[in-house]
Copies of this chain bind each other. A is one copy, B any other.
Amino acid sequence: MDRRRIAIVGGTGPQGRGLAYRFATAGHDVTLGSRDAGRAASAAADLGTLAGTGLRGDSNPGAAAVADVVVLAIPFDGHDELVASLADELAGKVVVSCVNPLGFDKHGPFGLDLGGESAAERAAALVPDAQVVGSFHHLSAVSLIDPDADLSTQDVLVVGDDAEAKTVVMDLAIAVTGRPGVDAGSLRLARQLEPLTAVLISINKKYRTHSGVAIAGLGH
């Protein structure tokens, strides 16, 4: 395994903490980023106890600055402003967007209409020098942080326009599911991956589970 220096922007949220836990457990060097560096440090200490290995906490820009791979585990609300503010730190790096632009109303969850775009494409437009990849949208935060949850039947779908960056992220998926992520095509297909999470949340509610996605026909 290539050991990566990974920053999780928005690393104190459920999705960020869950991914950080899995990456750290697999031996990657993980820094949680947060708007509040103190909160990040505190969350990192808690996760370190759970994972049995050290994680660091820092401000979002501080975490991003020292990483090779930066994971955006942030809400869609405020997404563009936050990404733009990190343009210097993200430039030249592999940036993984696992942002799910969802809305909720009395009929349940739904994908927000971004005018035919995706959060991942927005990030790519805001930081043209970064290699933006869309991935890790469909893993339940509850399962990610649960040491007993077996994610080995799930697939991590990876979309992007930079083949090398995509390979880095497909390899990172091994830390989560035990197998490489699935190359699911070009970055614009993040338009399909991001709101699919609304379907999973709907299924979770109906079946009282933490569902995930698997791709049949890959022979694994």
Contacts and interface: CB of A to CB of B under 8 A. Distances in A.
A41 interface: no
B209 A184 contact: no
B211 A217 contact: yes
Interface in A177-210: 182-186, 188-189, 191-193, 195-196, 198-200, 202-204, 206-207, 209-210
A211 B210 CA distance: 23
Given A110-B189, A113-B116, A191-B111, A199 B217 contact: no
A118 to B, nearest CB: 11
Interface of A: 107-111, 113, 116, 140, 143, 151, 153-154, 157, 159, 182-186, 188-189, 191-193, 195-196, 198-200, 202-204, 206-207, 209-219
22 contacts: A107-B186, A108-B185, A108-B186, A110-B189, A110-B191, A111-B191, A157-B199, A182-B203, A183-B206, A185-B198, A185-B199, A185-B202, A185-B203, A189-B198, A192-B196, A196-B196, A203-B218, A207-B217, A211-B215, A213-B213, A214-B214, A214-B215
